[in-house]
Every structure is written in structure tokens, then in C-alpha cells.
Amino acid sequence: MDTVSTARELRERLSGANRIAFVPTMGNLHEGHLALMRTAREHGNAVVASIFVNRLQFGPNEDFDRYPRTMDADCSELERVGVDVLFAPQEREMYPVAQSYRVQPPPLAEELEGASRPGFFQGVCTVVLKLFNLVQPDAAVFGKKDRQQLAVVRGMVEQFNLPIDVVAGETVRAGDGLALSSRNNYLSEAEREEAPSLHRVLRGVADKLAGGRLDYGALERAACDELARRGWKPDYVAIRDGDNLRTPAPGDRPRPGSLIVLGAAKLGTTRLIDNVDVGD
């Protein structure tokens, strides 16, 4: 694996590559990330990963400074799964001057994660567009665990006419159902034991929807209440259309398998997100 840290080095290394598959990350890699790298291999001859902790997507009270940086371990794992090129720029390479030009995402970005984390998707879209311009991939792989991010990035690619196939990677889970996430490292032992409850609660809502329930608001409120009883601080549980993340109208009878259930909640000081497809 070649590791490069500047745009010039990246261009030189990728000159002549005939199909590039790209996986952007913030590092602190786990098996979920590595599964995305394997998926990328199915969609390109040259697999490029990036590691960049993007300040623009962190709010003023979020964990930018304490976000784990594990570059040596990450490089070993990327090499092990056959990544060809790692782009690991310093902040001054990505933002040589203050980033006053930013991507303004659509209203969807102000809901769910966007409501809980104002400015998050503006930061995500801005850095992803910059990375796309630098890497020039033919395909880019994003995980389904961050389902709203996947939808927002797909919309940006479509509306800016970017010649990139956005590929969805399946969520990787621990044996007890917890979605793998870099933030799981923040959990205490007791919190780690409780953490799979988020997935179980969302799965319970999905099962009720699969059984024919249409009282969406009541199901969302009941799920939040259940999480709160277990000691969580829920941000949201939301039932949405799986394609566009629109809210179904009360009583709407959806197409089979078209809905997803998304949730975000804090356990102690750690905020976790997850989602479940209805019918899976």
C-alpha cells in the first residue's frame, strides 16, 4: 500500500488508474470499515481509502479533539485487506485557507442527525466533495449505518452531475447486534452491555411495521420511551421511506420492504446511531 499526504502525490500515484473505488473515513478503523474496503474491491481496480478527521462536521461541543487517532494500526489493517492507496492529508492540505465556500445540503440535512447536530451535513458534503475532486473516483462506498449520510451524499452526486457510482455497504454488527462504530470505544463495560438495546428497540419497531402497524407516531414515541426507561437519552426514533427518507403520512400503507427505522440516543456520554430495514 502506498500512503500519500498531498494532492500532488495523490494525482501522481493515481495517474493511469482505469477504475478507482474510494472509501472515505476518519480513521480509528474497525471491521465495518474493512468490509467497505472489500466492497470497494468489487467495484474498482484501484482501491483508495482516506483518513481525515474533518473539523467542519464537528459541532462546538462535540468530540473533535478526543476523536481517536490510530494511524499506525489503521495502516496495518488497510494493508491487510489489500487497499492500494491511502490518502492521509494534514488539515492544512485539505483547508489551506479558511473554508468560506461550503456545500449547502437540502432540507433533509436539517432533520434527524441534522437537527441534533446543526451544520453536520454541510461539513460532510463539503469535505466529501473536496475528496471526490482530489481522488476522482469512479465508485465511492458509504456504509448503511449512516443511512442519512448515504442519502445526502447520493443526492449531492446526482445534483452536481458527478460521474461517481455511490455504493451502499451493509452494516457490520457485533455478535450481540451492536452496530460497529468508532464511538463504541467510549463505552464503559456496563454501557457496552446495554448498547445493543438500541438495535433491539429499532428491530422491535420494524417487526411491528412488518406486522401491519401504521400508527407511525405512536410507535416512534413508544420506542423513545423504552430507551429512556433503560437509561438512554433518545434524540429520535423515526420511521422513514428507505429510498428518500421522507416521512410517511399517518396511515399510509407502504410498499413491502420500503420503510426503515432510524434511531439516535445517548448512553452515558456516548451518542450512538443505528437503523433497521423493515422486512429484513
Say which of 30, 33, 43, 199 is annotated catalytic.
Answer: 33
For the chain, the farthest-separated pair of C-alpha atoms sits apart, in whole angstroms, at 57
Q: How many Cβ atoms sit within 10 Å of the Cβ of residue 106?
A: 13
Q: Which residues of 121-137 are buried (b: 16+ CB within 10 A; e: fewer)?
A: bbbbbbbbbbbbebbbb
Beta bridge pairs of residue 46: 20
Residue 37: C-alpha distances to residues 57, 69, 127, 131, 276 (Å):
23, 19, 19, 16, 22
Cβ pair 125, 134 in contact under 8 A: no
Instruction: Let me know if 30 is a catalytic residue.
Output: no
Beta bridge pairs of residue 233: 266
Q: Which residues are catalytic?
A: 33
